[in-house]
Amino acid sequence: MVPSLNRATPRRDDSRDEWPRQRATGVKLLWGTANVFSNRRYMNGAATNPDFLAAAHAGVQIKNAIDATIALGAPTMSSGVAAKAI
């Protein structure tokens, strides 16, 4: 059974719940990230994955992260690439 993209992103509207908390505390979001590197689905890459379903999930996850970042007023979006210190 192929998982639905709608079921893959059940918390995409949770960012709307954060507005009252942000206003009450005055804490602002510094950046948003899609985090397309920690899930096993993306072990062969996210957008470059040869499995189209994985690439499709990455696209939806990135779009939802961008929408949430804009909605929460963050000034920037992280690419999700982490550099390893030597």
* pLDDT value at 57 more than 80: yes
Run of H or E including 52: helix 52-71
Residue 62: pLDDT band with limits 50, 70, 90 = confident
pLDDT digits (tens, 9 = 90+) for 10-31: 555 565 666 777 778 888 888 8
Q: Extract the tokens encoding 15.
A: 């960012």
Does residue 24 come out as left (phi exceeding 0), alpha (psi in the -120 to 50 range) or beta? alpha
Asked whether residue 72 is assigned to any structural domain, the reply reads yes
Asked whether residue 21 is assigned to any structural domain, the reply reads no
Q: Against a cut of 0.75, is the pTM above it?
A: no
Residue range of the domain that includes 49: 45-78
Asked whether residue 11 is assigned to any structural domain, the reply reads no
Residue 85: pLDDT band with limits 50, 70, 90 = very low
* pLDDT value at 76 more than 60: yes
Provide the domain count of the chain.
1
* pLDDT value at 61 more than 60: yes
Asked whether residue 4 is assigned to any structural domain, the reply reads no
